[in-house]
Amino acid sequence: MSSSSHLFIITGASRGLGRALAEQVLDQGHTLLTLARHPNDGLQQHANAHGAQLTQWSADLTDAAPAGKRLTEWLAQTPHAQLASATLINNAGMIPALAPLRDVTAGAIAQGIRLGLEATMILSAVFLGATRDWAGARRLLNISSGLGRHPMASQAVYCAAKAGMDLYTRCVALEEAQTPGGARVCALAPGVIDTDMQVQLRGADAGQFPDRQRFADLKNKGALTSPADTARRILAYLERPDFGQNPVADIRDSAA
């Protein structure tokens, strides 16, 4: 990889919020590595149009150890002396089931926790470890959810993964604050965004998911934000000098 001044690594960039974040990062000419199960052909066009360097890896992050190993090797070979910053955005997420926990299979529980929590911890550990001696600014942004902070019936696995993400982010914030040149880290709730995830929530079985109508109403009232607007606000939030001062934040509290 040739060096550009800013390096981003974004998971779940094939669609939804992650895709919008990736497009905007490329439009600014930054170097980008993406990880998702599917590559996105449209991203290459953004890279070509703006002279940005794009690498897309196909990876199922419900089994993140191989991706973590590959990322360790990739970062070790990355020229970093000229990099002003390196940023990991753990964005990939999924709702494995919309049903009371008593009706959720062991496989769905494992998938939800492995993608939502285990993969983010593995990639965070790799990123923070492999870049620890890099001179540029280092930032870790975990895309969390209001549901990591508020309970909802039939969302136990998703809520647990996001709550775990929030607390481990707090722990890492303490660790990095005790380290000279430590990374700035934040778990950020992104608001309610018009993506496939919302389609899944509105399309759930109302008998199994009591809050289904609430999500249908949000769509009908036009209360969902677009992925592009949300991505703009998140990237502006990352640029704030106080990014990381509040390790568990909500974009809706930000004027950015």
Binding site for ligand NDP (CB under 6 A): 12-18, 36-38, 59-62, 91-94, 115, 143, 145, 190, 192-193, 195-198
Residue of this chain nearest to ligand NDP (CB atom)? 16
Q: List the beta bridge partners of residue 142.
A: 90, 187
Tell me the C-alpha distance between 73 and 75, whole Å: 6
Q: Report the SS3 class of residue 143.
A: strand
Tell me how far, at minimum, the Cβ of 189 lies from ligand NDP, in Å: 6
Specify the residue, 83 or 189, whose C-beta has the smaller distance to ligand NDP. 189
Tell me how far, at minimum, the Cβ of 82 lies from ligand NDP, in Å: 30
Tell me how far, at minimum, the Cβ of 135 lies from ligand NDP, in Å: 30
Strand ranges in 102-214 using DSSP code E only, listed in sequence order:
137-143, 184-189
Tell me how far, at minimum, the Cβ of 245 lies from ligand NDP, in Å: 21
Specify the residue, 37 or 69, whose C-beta has the smaller distance to ligand NDP. 37
Specify the residue, 22 or 172, whose C-beta has the smaller distance to ligand NDP. 22
Residues 6+ apart with CB under 8 A from 91: 10, 11, 12, 13, 17, 18, 21, 143
Tell me the C-alpha distance between 17 and 25, whole Å: 12
Tell me how far, at minimum, the Cβ of 58 lies from ligand NDP, in Å: 8
Specify the residue, 92 or 173, whose C-beta has the smaller distance to ligand NDP. 92
Q: Report the SS3 class of residue 150.
A: coil
